[in-house]
C-alpha cells in the first residue's frame, strides 16, 4: 500500500480525479482508498499539528505503507532555480523556524542540546531525512522543470522580502511549506519511508496572491505523483 498525503482537498483533487475512491475516517481525518487497490489518500488539514496527528493516527491504525508521499504546493525561493509551475522533490526537510531567537541571532534547536527525535541511535534536530524520488522519473517529459533540494517547513509563511531573506540565509532551502517536516518526523518515528513532492504556486516574496497559480501547481504536482506511481 502507498499512502499519498495532502493538506487540503483542493491540493488532492487533481490527483484523485482519475480514479474511483472509497471514503472512511481515521483519526477524524478523511482517508480515501482506491477502488483498484494499492493506494490510499489522506487529507491531513493544514499545518504541522494537523499533519502529525493525521499521519500518526493513520500509521497506528494501518499496516505500515510501502512509502508515504506528501504532495501539495509550495513557495520557491528566488535564485534557487525553481519557478512557479515547476515541481520540486524534497532531499531533506527542515523545521525552519524552530529554535532560539537570541541577541546573537537565530540558533537551531541543536543549540539546546535536546533533539526533536531519536531513531536508531541518531539524534535529529531541525533536519529530517527524506527519500528523494526524483531519480525515479528521470527521462520522463513534462511541460515544466523538475528540481530536488532541501525544503523548509514554517509555521508562518514568508510573505515579506525580509522574512524570505531570513529563511533563505539561515537554511538555503529550495522552497517552503507548512507540513513537510512534521510528516518526515512522524514517518521516521514509525519507520515508514517518506518522500515529498511539491508544485510551485508562487515565489517567496512580498505577498501578492494575484501572482500565484495554485491550480497549476496542484495539477503539475499530481502529474508527477501519478508518474511516480507507475515507477515505484
Averages of pLDDT over each 10 residues, the chain, 232 residues = 97 94 97 93 98 98 95 98 98 97 94 96 98 96 98 97 96 98 98 98 96 98 96 86
The whole-angstrom separation of Cα 16 and Cα 83 is: 25
Per the structure, the count of domains in the chain is 1
The pTM of the full predicted model, rounded to 2 decimals, is: 0.97
Kindly tell me the number of DSSP H helices and DSSP E strands found in the chain.
5, 15
> Residue 83's domain spans which residues?
2-231
Pairing of strands 67-70, 2-6: parallel
Beta pairing class for 122-124 and 73-76: unpaired
Nearest residue to 58 (alpha-carbon basis) of 19, 23, 22, 28: 28
Q: What are phi and psi of 158, to 5 degrees?
A: -80, 105
pLDDT of residue 79: 96
E strands along the chain, which residues? 2-6, 21-26, 29-34, 39-43, 67-70, 73-76, 87-95, 99-102, 105-108, 117-119, 122-124, 127-129, 146-153, 175-177, 194-203
Q: Specify the CATH number for the domain of residue 149.
A: 3.40.50.1580
Q: What is the DSSP letter of 134?
A: G
Q: What is the pLDDT of residue 160?
A: 96
Residue 18: the pLDDT is 80
DSSP 8-class letter at 46:
S
Query: What pLDDT, on a 0 to 100 scale, did the predictor assign at position 78?
Result: 96
Amino acid at each position: 500500500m502507498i499512502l499519498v498525503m495532502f493538506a487540503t482537498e483542493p491540493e488532492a483533487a487533481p490527483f484523485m480525479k482519475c480514479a474511483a475512491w472509497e471514503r472512511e475516517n481515521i483519526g477524524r481525518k478523511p482517508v480515501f482508498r482506491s477502488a483498484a487497490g494499492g493506494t490510499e489518500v489522506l487529507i491531513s488539514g493544514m499545518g504541522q499539528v494537523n499533519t502529525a496527528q493525521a499521519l500518526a493516527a493513520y500509521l497506528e491504525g494501518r499496516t505500515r505503507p510501502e512509502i508515504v508521499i506528501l504532495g501539495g504546493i509550495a513557495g520557491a525561493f528566488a535564485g534557487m532555480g525553481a519557478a512557479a509551475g515547476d515541481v520540486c522533490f524534497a532531499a531533506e526537510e527542515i523545521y525552519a523556524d524552530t529554535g532560539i531567537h537570541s541577541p546573537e541571532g537565530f540558533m537551531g534547536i541543536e543549540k539546546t542540546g535536546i533533539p526533536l527525535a531519536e531513531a536508531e541511535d541518531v539524534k535529529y534536530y531541525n533536519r529530517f531525512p527524506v527519500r528523494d524520488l526524483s531519480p525515479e522519473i528521470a527521462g520522463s517529459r513534462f511541460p515544466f522543470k523538475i528540481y530536488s533540494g532541501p525544503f523548509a517547513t514554517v509555521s508562518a509563511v514568508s510573505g515579506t522580502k525580509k522574512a524570505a531573506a531570513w529563511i533563505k540565509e539561515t537554511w538555503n532551502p529550495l522552497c517552503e511549506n507548512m507540513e513537510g517536516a512534521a510528516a518526515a518526523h512522524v514517518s521516521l518515528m514509525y519507520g515508514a519511508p517518506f518522500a515529498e513532492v511539491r508544485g510551485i504556486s508562487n515565489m517567496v516574496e512580498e505577498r501578492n496572491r494575484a501572482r500565484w497559480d495554485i491550480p497549476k501547481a496542484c495539477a503539475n504536482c499530481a502529474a508527477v505523483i501519478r508518474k511516480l506511481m507507475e515507477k515505484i
